[in-house]
């Protein structure tokens, strides 16, 4: 059931219960068992609507906080990638100047850790960019 349908049912139940109470007064204990399903249904709908509204607000707040947090991570990852890329480029240029040939995979020994970090950063950037685009798409549709 959609929020709109739940809201309509809650409103009509509320009006019916108020009308019943205006005619007969608040139900006493013996009458309460007859009207209990209606009151219970009204309370359930009210609770569902409040929880779904609260969930929507919380989702919006969290997503806005995560957009900014994801962007911070993206900026930091890009800076680190740029720094590593420059260090690796300097290593490769220095290697080329010493040997006269391009650096091969087996020649990367002294910088193996940096190459691994660079590869992991590229994967992290792809993931962060995918998360951001997914989040932006979801905020556009809501």
pLDDT at res. 134:
82
Tell me the average pLDDT across 6-34.
Answer: 82
- Answer yes or no: is pLDDT of 57 > 60: no
Q: Where are the beta strands (DSSP E) in 1-142?
A: none
82-93 core/surface letters (b: 16 or more CB in 10 A; e: else): eebeeebeebee
- CA atoms 79, 82, 87, 90: torsion sign: negative
Residue partners of 101: CB distance under 8 A and separation at least 6: none
Tell me the average pLDDT across 131-135.
Answer: 83
Tell me the average pLDDT across 11-33.
Answer: 82
Closest CA to 142 of 73, 75, 62, 68: 62
pLDDT at res. 118:
93
- Answer yes or no: is pLDDT of 40 > 70: yes
pLDDT at res. 29:
73
- Answer yes or no: is pLDDT of 58 > 60: no
How many domains would you assign to the chain?
1
Give the chain's mean pLDDT. Answer: 83
pLDDT at res. 59:
59
- Answer yes or no: is pLDDT of 51 > 80: no
Q: Which domain holds residue 124?
A: 3-141
List, for residues 67-122, the tens digit of each pLDDT value: 778 888 889 999 999 999 999 999 999 999 999 999 998 998 888 899 999 999 99
Give the CA count within 13 Å in the CB-facing half-sphere of 108.
Answer: 12
pLDDT classification of 142: cutoffs 50, 70, 90: low
Cα R_g (the chain), whole angstroms: 31
């Amino acid at each position: 059931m959609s929020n709109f349908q739940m809201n309509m049912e809650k409103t009509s139940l509320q009006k019916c219960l108020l009308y019943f109470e205006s005619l007969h007064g608040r139900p006493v204990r013996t009458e309460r068992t007859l009207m209990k399903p209606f009151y219970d249904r009204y309370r359930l709908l009210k609770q569902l609507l409040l929880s779904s509204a609260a969930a929507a607000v919380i989702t919006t707040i969290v997503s806005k906080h995560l957009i900014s947090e994801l962007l911070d991570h993206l900026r930091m990852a890009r800076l680190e990638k740029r720094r590593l890329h420059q260090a690796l480029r300097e290593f490769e240029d220095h290697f080329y100047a010493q040997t006269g040939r391009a650096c091969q995979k087996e020649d990367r020994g002294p910088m193996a850790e940096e190459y691994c970090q660079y590869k992991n950063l590229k994967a992290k950037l792809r993931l962060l960019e995918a998360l951001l685009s997914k989040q932006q798409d979801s905020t556009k549709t809501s």
